[in-house]
């Protein structure tokens, strides 16, 4: 039986004695002020509900949630009603309470307890063990519940505030599938998600709060885009610094002017080579946005599996995100606006999809992965979706130029754009990081600034076979 409780969004107290006590909140901004109108407090949390299933399906909490999101399209929502009946009391206005009898994160060292395990028919999956249909169905079920909760909250926020624009932040705002549904099905005209939406973004919020609240500085409103400027807020290395490192490392390279560099890189991508791409200032946030990226041809039916297993050393079911020029996005995807931070999932356009055979349509689980579903199969997930990044000429001129060069070379302006790292490691920051990752993986070429490196002519590296143990797997 569904557990019941009388609850709703509460008006926040005037004084809070615990930092981050609120797990869900909404407010309204005017000028340089932000008034919080309602909140839900710990231990009731959509993020912690999702993390409980991250733990239960055998992934690492606080980093493996995106795996659950990526696994969900392989499954069926067979456990969704059980979640709603036993774990979360979700009201029509989106307010909710968790049934803490099933969770252990308040007092123990685990997310879930035996009562949770009994409810879903067994203990948590062991990390690194085989992913079964059960885990896929669990992932799909909690994803569906999360999306429904976020849609209900969005409608309530719109009703309570009358605002036309919605901004999202917080770890759950990294769930780009739910974001896409809010954009398509929600009541708001525009949606913007802070790109470092997890805990890292708190530093940005603290600085802005001090600037506007304590120093009373006016808020600027850009005529185009946003003031985060592509989230390119990290370090940059000039050509002199890059060449100095390569010379010291004894790494052969070719220096090219911009036009030649872009053409040669596009030709490598056309030839189904995997290319490390290191340019300009590093991105702030969890997504590679064209500065520290690994690139490949989205038209290739084999690169999704190759890049997962031989480059990223991660699970084969994980989807890759596409980059496309802003003005071309609606030619490939059902999206008519910018998505600069790779935080919106949109369907691949019907005109780009291929018709499936009845045998292919009947496939279940991981077998779906083997089927090319569109003209850009490397970035088309099993539900015909893609996590889209739009590239603006004014924000990322060199990356935009590369997409143009790829389009001239292949006829398609879509490239695969995962982050420049391997599983468990942070994204590369320096030329040294990039070269080390390049040499340890199956990447074919590395573009460092204006320098092109061919893997086949690089000197052998000393045996460091234990390097994958430097970071814990996620």
**Residue 129 sits in the same domain as residue 185:** yes
The tally of domains found in the chain comes to 2
Omega cis (within 30) before 43: yes
CB-based burial, 29-41: b 16+ in 10 Å, e otherwise: eeeeebeeebbbb
**pTM assigned to the model:** 0.90
Residues 281 and 314 in one domain: yes
**One domain, residues 176 and 261:** no
Residue 227 lies in a domain: no
Residue 420 forms part of a structural domain: yes
Which residue did the predictor score with more confidence, 412 or 466? 412
Q: What percentage of the chain exceeds 90 in pLDDT? A: 71
Task: Verify that 207 and 245 share a domain, yes or no.
Answer: no
Domain assignment of residue 222, yes or no = no
Three-state DSSP at 26 gives: strand
CATH of the domain at 368: 3.90.870.20
Last residue of a domain, which of 214, 247, 274?
214
Query: What is the C-alpha to C-alpha distance for residues 226 and 35, in angstroms, rounded to an integer?
Result: 21
Confidence of residue 126 (pLDDT cuts 50, 70, 90): very high
**Model pLDDT for residues 234-291, shown as the tens digit of each residue:** 999 999 999 999 999 999 999 999 999 999 999 999 999 999 999 999 999 889 999 9
What pLDDT does 18 receive? 38
The per-residue pLDDT for range 354-396, each reduced to its tens digit, is 877 777 666 666 666 677 778 898 899 888 999 999 999 999 9
How many whole angstroms separate alpha carbon 141 and alpha carbon 146? Answer: 9
Strand partners, 173: none
Lowest mean pLDDT among 194-198, 213-217, 460-464: 460-464
pLDDT at 30 > cutoff 60: yes
Instruction: Single out the residue in 214, 230, 261 at which a domain terminates.
Output: 214
Residue numbers of the domain that contains 250: 239-469
Same domain (yes/no): 210, 243:
no
* 37 or 301, which is more confident: 37
Rounded Cα distance between 457 and 298, Å, is 26
Residue 131's CATH number? 3.30.420.40
| Domain end (from 199, 214, 229) | 214
Under the banding of pLDDT at 50, 70 and 90, the label for residue 5 is very low
Comparison of pLDDT for 228 and 167, the residue scoring more: 167
> Do 203 and 288 fall into the same domain?
no
333/324 Cα distance (integer angstroms): 10
β-pairing, 22-30 vs 344-347, is unpaired
């Amino acid at each position: 039986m569904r557990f019941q409780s009388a609850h709703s969004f509460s008006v926040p107290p005037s004084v809070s004695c615990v930092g981050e006590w609120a797990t869900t909140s909404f407010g309204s901004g005017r000028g340089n002020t932000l008034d919080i109108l309602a909140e839900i407090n710990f231990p009731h949390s959509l993020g912690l509900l999702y993390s409980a299933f991250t733990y239960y399906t055998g992934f690492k909490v606080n980093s493996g949630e995106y795996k659950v999101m990526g696994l969900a399209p392989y499954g069926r929502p067979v456990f969704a009603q059980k979640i709603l009946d036993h774990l979360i009391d979700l009201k029509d206005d989106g307010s909710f309470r968790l049934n803490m009898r099933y969770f252990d994160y308040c007092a123990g060292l685990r997310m879930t307890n035996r009562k949770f395990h009994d409810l879903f028919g067994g203990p948590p999956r062991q990390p690194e063990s085989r992913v079964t249909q059960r885990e896929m169905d669990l992932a799909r079920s909690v994803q569906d519940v999360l999306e429904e909760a976020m849609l209900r909250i969005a409608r309530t926020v719109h009703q309570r505030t009358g605002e036309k624009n919605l901004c999202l932040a917080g770890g759950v705002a990294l769930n780009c599938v739910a974001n896409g549904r809010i954009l398509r099905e929600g009541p708001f005209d525009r949606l913007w998600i802070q790109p470092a939406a997890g805990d890292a973004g708190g530093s940005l919020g603290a600085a802005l709060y001090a600037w506007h609240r304590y120093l009373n500085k006016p808020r600027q409103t850009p005529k185009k885009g946003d003031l985060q400027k592509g989230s390119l807020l990290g370090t940059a290395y000039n050509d002199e610094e890059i060449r100095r490192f390569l010379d010291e490392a004894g790494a052969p390279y070719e220096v090219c002017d911009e036009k030649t560099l872009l053409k040669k890189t596009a030709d490598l991508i056309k030839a189904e080579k995997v290319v490390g791409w290191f340019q300009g200032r590093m991105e702030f946030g969890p997504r590679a946005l064209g500065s520290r990226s690994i690139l490949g041809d989205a038209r290739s039916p084999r690169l999704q599996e190759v890049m997962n297993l031989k480059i990223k050393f991660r699970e084969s079911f994980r989807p890759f995100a596409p980059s496309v020029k802003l003005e071309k996005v609606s030619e490939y995807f059902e999206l008519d606006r910018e998505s600069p931070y790779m935080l919106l999932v949109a369907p691949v356009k019907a005109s780009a999809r291929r018709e499936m055979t009845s045998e292919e349509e009947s496939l279940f689980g991981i077998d779906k992965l083997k089927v090319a579903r569109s003209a850009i199969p490397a970035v088309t997930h099993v539900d015909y979706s893609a996590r889209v990044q739009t590239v603006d000429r004014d924000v990322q001129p060199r990356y935009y130029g590369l997409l143009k060069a790829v389009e001239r070379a292949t006829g398609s302006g879509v490239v695969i754009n995962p982050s420049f790292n391997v599983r468990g490691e942070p994204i590369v920051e320096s030329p040294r990081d990039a070269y080390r990752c390049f040499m340890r993986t199956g990447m074919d070429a590395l573009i460092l600034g204006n320098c092109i490196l061919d893997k086949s002519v690089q000197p052998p590296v000393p045996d460091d076979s234990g390097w994958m143990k430097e970071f814990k797997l996620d």
